[in-house]
Amino acid sequence: MTQRREEHTFIPEPDLEGVSVDTLAVRAGQHRTSELEHSDAIFPTSSFVYGSAAQAAARFGGDEPGNIYSRFTNPTVKAFEERIAAMEGGDRAVATASGMAAILATCMALLQQGDHVVCSRGVFGTTNVLFQKYLAKFGVDTTFVGLTDMDGWRAAVTNRTRLLFIETPSNPLCEVADMTALAELAHANDALFVVDNCFCTPVLQRPFEYGADIVIHSATKYLDGQGRCLGGVVVGNNQLMEEVFGFLRSAGPTMSPFNAWIFHKGLETLPIRMRAHCENALQLARWLEQQPAVEKVYYAGLESHPQHQLARRQQDGFGGVLSFTVRGGQPEAWAFIDATRMVSITANLGDVKTTITHPGTTTHGRLSPEDKALAGITDNLIRVSVGVEALEDLKNDMRRGLQALET
């Protein structure tokens, strides 16, 4: 027997016009059911039912809005998409199964054989592999240039260029791109400007304000913040996102409702977490910079960073990821990492737990030696995603690494 609620209480939609990102993180994208829950419902269902065959036909044919099948329409996923789109300032978001799926979906939806991409060298190693190995199979060529080398970007653009792709700050050297200049270059050549905003999130940086056409996230990182789920998301205008959505509907690299619920709730604490990450990272970077065994620290919050002033203009904080080189080579870098006893040795980032990794043999391990050299991935480089533990405890653990270099 079907049960229905007898009472119908009208709860008005919140007025979010002009509110801050902090408020959007908590209030945007919430649609209460008839149960009037205060938190957010989760819809772990593969499909949806219809009142008649005619209604089913109307839904599948696009004549009636509503849920069809959870591969491409699910209320929980939609709630997450609406919240992150509001925070980034985009028209629409499309959630995917992972951050790499978000990049793949964007490229498959918007590129075709014969197109050309210009990509920063300072991207996640697997992003490099996706462009170099897999998209190349479909006739899409990619030219890699230094993130901050504007002359290199201008020289790389051709009449076939359809997309400029960057991460800023870069992974793992924390270089900062001039997004306004790159957006102008892209648009002057009828190309799209795509920014991976994983390191900063919309709390610290909103690329649409600097001319980006598409913003991409690995939701696995800071949007979740606790290393629980895999996911990604693409944000942009309605026209571009309809193309990405079409690929998702057909190819299926889809975010699950459960993961979407985790990310949706994770966004509520994102502003608080990002500021804590930033505070710890800045203090740890300054401390590392003073250590004799450390050759160089890469963090945009340091006054010694070459793009420090640009980062101050574009960002509301410097993020939670830093890298540094130790004196020596791979053996010394590994000795430092192995000597730690609190931080987690893992390649993930954006977690409340501090993580440490050796990029040359993990995140960028599949790059050729030549590509590593061009990207600045040296054998003595260590990357740290600074969590929210007590700063003194983090310093004490890093001291273990430094002491290992003295033996």
Residues 366-395, mean pLDDT to the nearest whole number: 94
- Report the C-alpha dihedral over residues 14, 17, 18, 19, rounded to 10 degrees: 10
263 and 276 both lie in a single domain:
no
pLDDT tens, 12-62?
788 899 999 999 999 999 888 888 888 999 999 999 999 999 999 999 999
- As given in the structure block, the two tokens for residue 166 are 């960057």
326 occurs within a structural domain: yes
259 and 280 both lie in a single domain:
no
Which structural domain range is residue 247 located in? Answer: 21-268
Which pLDDT value is given to residue 8?
61
Strand-pairing partners, residue 11, are: none
317 and 201 both lie in a single domain:
no
Predicted structure pTM score: 0.94
Which pLDDT value is given to residue 265?
96
pLDDT-wise least confident of 86-90, 315-319, 375-379: 375-379
256 and 342 both lie in a single domain:
no
113 and 185 both lie in a single domain:
yes
Q: Find the distance separating the first CA and the last CA of the chain, reported in whole Å.
A: 74
Tell me the average pLDDT of the chain: 95
4 occurs within a structural domain: no
**pLDDT band at residue 374 under the 50/70/90 scheme:** confident
259 occurs within a structural domain: yes
In 10 A of CB 333, how many CB atoms?
A: 24
Residues 143-161, mean pLDDT to the nearest whole number: 98
- As given in the structure block, the two tokens for residue 295 are 């050759």
CA-nearest of 252, 205, 198, 232 to 81 is 232
pLDDT tens, 244-271?
999 999 999 999 999 999 999 999 999 9
Residues 6+ apart with CB under 8 A from 300: 169, 174, 176, 307, 308, 311, 315, 318, 319
Q: Among the three residues 233, 250, 268, which one is the final residue of a domain in this structure?
A: 268
255 and 360 both lie in a single domain:
no
Residue 95: which CATH number?
3.40.640.10
Q: How many CA atoms lie within 13 A of 71 on its CB side?
A: 9
Q: Flag whether pLDDT at 193 surpasses 70.
A: yes
Q: Among the three residues 253, 268, 283, which one is the final residue of a domain in this structure?
A: 268
304 and 186 both lie in a single domain:
no
Q: Flag whether pLDDT at 1 surpasses 50.
A: no
9 occurs within a structural domain: no
CA-nearest of 106, 81, 116 to 213 is 106
44 occurs within a structural domain: yes
228 and 85 both lie in a single domain:
yes
Residues 103-108, mean pLDDT to the nearest whole number: 98
CA-nearest of 131, 127, 140 to 167 is 127
**What is the domain count for the chain?**
2
49 and 144 both lie in a single domain:
yes
99 and 170 both lie in a single domain:
yes
pLDDT tens, 294-329?
999 999 999 999 999 999 999 999 999 999 999 999
Which pLDDT value is given to residue 4?
52
313 and 262 both lie in a single domain:
no
- As given in the structure block, the two tokens for residue 175 are 């270089």
Which pLDDT value is given to residue 397?
98
Which pLDDT value is given to residue 81?
98
**In this prediction, what percent of the chain has a pLDDT beyond 90?**
90
Residues 6+ apart with CB under 8 A from 176: 147, 148, 168, 169, 170, 300, 305, 307, 310, 311, 314, 315
What is the phi/psi pair of residue 8, to 5°?
-130, 105
Which pLDDT value is given to residue 375?
87
Residues 132-138, mean pLDDT to the nearest whole number: 96
CA-nearest of 26, 66, 41 to 257 is 41
- Report the alpha-carbon distance of residue 66 to residue 84 in Å, rounded: 21
With H, G, I as helix, E, B as strand and everything else as coil, classify residue 381: strand
Residue 346: which CATH number?
3.90.1150.10
191 vs 110, 150, 250, 290, CA distance in Å? 11, 16, 25, 43
256 occurs within a structural domain: yes
Residues 342-348, mean pLDDT to the nearest whole number: 96
Report whether 348 contacts 235 (CB < 8 A): no
5 occurs within a structural domain: no
33 and 69 both lie in a single domain:
yes
7 occurs within a structural domain: no
Q: Among the three residues 215, 248, 268, which one is the final residue of a domain in this structure?
A: 268
248's torsion region: left (phi>0), alpha (psi -120 to 50) or beta?
alpha
Does residue 169 have a cis peptide bond before it, meaning omega lies within 30 degrees of 0?
A: yes
